[in-house]
Amino acid sequence: MLWLVILGSPVRAENADNSLLVYAVNIHQTPMQTWGPGYGIYLGKGLFITAAHVAGHTWFTRPKVAIAGTEYPTKVIKAGDFEIIDLTLLSVDETRLPGRLALRRNPLCR
């Protein structure tokens, strides 16, 4: 249990539940990496963010987003470098995504 004290009053953080799991996806490299799938987060509008070390050198690994056992080809919007900025942004044709995910939006900071 995580507790936070603000101005002398303890405030309990939200319970860790599965509410954010609906945004989680697997990221597969081609060929599939031997250590198993990596993970990414759906941001909405067909965009997924993952660690650059998960996507690998995208020009070589051609990462795919995997949802419920189905792989979706990606377009690399921005490839990171795990030694500098360990983030990669991928895009999937939103019309191909399952309805449970395509309709979701994960609002970012303004």
Can you tell me the mean pLDDT for 22-50?
86
| Domains of the chain, CATH where assigned | 18-102 (2.40.10.10)
Q: With DSSP H G I counted as helix, E B as strand and the rest as coil, what are the percentages for the chain, rounded to 5?
A: 15, 40, 45
pLDDT category at 4 given cuts 50, 70, 90 is very low
Find, among 76, 22, 68, the residue nearest to 49 by Cα: 76
For the stretch 42-99, pLDDT in tens is: 998 899 999 999 988 888 889 999 998 899 999 999 999 888 999 999 999 999 988 8
pLDDT at residue 30, as a whole number: 82
- What's the pTM? 0.75
Q: What is the dihedral of CA 74, 50, 77, 53, to 10 degrees?
A: -100
